[in-house]
Amino acid sequence: MSSAEVAAAAPAPEQTEQSPPNGVSPAPQESASDGEAAQAQGPASTAAPHQSASLYVGELDPSVTEAMLFELFSSIGSVASIRVCRDAVTRRSLGYAYVNYNNTQDGERALEELNYNPIKGKPCRIMWSQRDPALRKTGQGNVFIKNLDTAIDNKALHDTFAAFGNILSCKVAQDEYGNSRGYGFVHYETAEAAQNAIKHVDGMLLNEKKVFVGHHIPKKDRQSKFDEMKANFTNVYAKNIDPEASEEEFRDLFAAFGAITSASLTRDENGQSRGFGFVNFSEHKCAAEAVERLHDSDFKGQKLYVSRAQKKPEREEELRKQYEAARVEKQSKYQGVNL
């Protein structure tokens, strides 16, 4: 489904005249709701008309200067000031800037005409700047989208969801190489617009991929839910399984600890066991006992590794923390040593 088809499915908005609400600001590597350098959380319910015409310009190439931005933004109207934000020590660009116009109308035109324009080969992302933490932290109107095709960028996401209401912030999450992580965030002016987007786009095909669209859950709430899930897990991961072990033997190994809802060994394209599998118990206490009793035990001459099953993002985060801890330890070990 294209953005045009999504727009056709959207309800017609009410024709009301209003100034754009206060919006958002910088976002290095996190979501438009958790990250945006703590600048992207203004709900419409408390947003007031702009008292200034300050724009946040993100996704900038590190080589972009104030002079380059002035040349582009002054084509719209009279620019009061421009500042590329830089590291306090290295003076390297942080990839975002603030452009201040002398009047709000020019800011509105710049947002309309220059958003997603390429600067030094990279499409910029323009939003109203909002530095009031009270407006940023109440996540009303925030929508989370996952299972996005990697070809969908910030502009394509914006074009798709603009049909449902005024967008304050729109961002596809990227890795350190600028590639899409397959999820993104849209922050609407109103909670009603967010609800409409969820109603009409959740479960639809975008670039032949079925997407999930739902309310964004703040990071602290996600962490609380995650901690609860960890404390009550029922899914178990096991590796170092003898390749000759059958599905029945694998299931019987775990069935001794309680009722199992599913158990399977992972196999390659030729049907050969890859030496690991997953078991889901009906109760947490059974899963916990299986992990405690079977981890480091012997099965068909091999020492088993058994633990709570982790999702890919959790495993990646755990490995990242281990790597960072090892790096810090190595640095401290050789600090002050003349090699």
- pLDDT tens-place string over residues 206-258: 999 999 999 887 777 666 666 776 778 999 999 999 999 999 999 999 999 99
Tell me the mean pLDDT in the region 101-128.
Answer: 92
Query: Rg (Cα) of the chain, in Å, rounded?
Result: 25
pLDDT for the residue 230: 74
pLDDT for the residue 10: 57
The CATH homologous superfamily for domain 232-312 is: RRM (RNA recognition motif) domain (3.30.70.330)
pLDDT for the residue 166: 87
Question: Average pLDDT over the chain, rounded to whole?
Answer: 81
Does residue 290 register a pLDDT over 80? yes
Instruction: Name the nearest CA neighbour of 118 among 56, 199, 57.
Output: 57
Tell me the mean pLDDT in the region 122-147.
Answer: 78
Residue 298 banded pLDDT, cuts 50, 70, 90: very high
Tell me the mean pLDDT in the region 154-159.
Answer: 92
CB 104 within 8 A of CB 19: yes
pLDDT for the residue 327: 80
CB 119 within 8 A of CB 60: yes
Tell me the mean pLDDT in the region 310-326.
Answer: 78
Tell me the mean pLDDT in the region 23-43.
Answer: 38
Residue 175 banded pLDDT, cuts 50, 70, 90: confident
Question: Distance of CA 337 to CAs 328, 331, 332, Å?
Answer: 15, 10, 10
- Report the percent of the chain where pLDDT is more than 70: 78
pLDDT for the residue 40: 38
pLDDT for the residue 29: 35
Q: What is the fold of 3-217?
A: Alpha-Beta Plaits (3.30.70)
φ, ψ (nearest 5 deg) of residue 186: -130, 130
Q: Where in the chain is the domain with CATH 3.30.70.330?
A: 3-217, 232-312
Q: Could you list the beta-strand ranges (E) of 87-229.
A: 93-101, 118-119, 122-123, 125-128, 142-146, 167-174, 180-188, 205-206, 209-210, 212-215
- Cα 100 from Cα 57, distance rounded (Å): 11
Please tell me which residue, 118 or 23, carries the higher pLDDT value.
Answer: 118
pLDDT for the residue 136: 54
pLDDT for the residue 178: 84
Lowest mean pLDDT among 92-96, 134-138, 182-186: 134-138
Please tell me which residue, 314 or 132, carries the higher pLDDT value.
Answer: 314
pTM summary value: 0.53
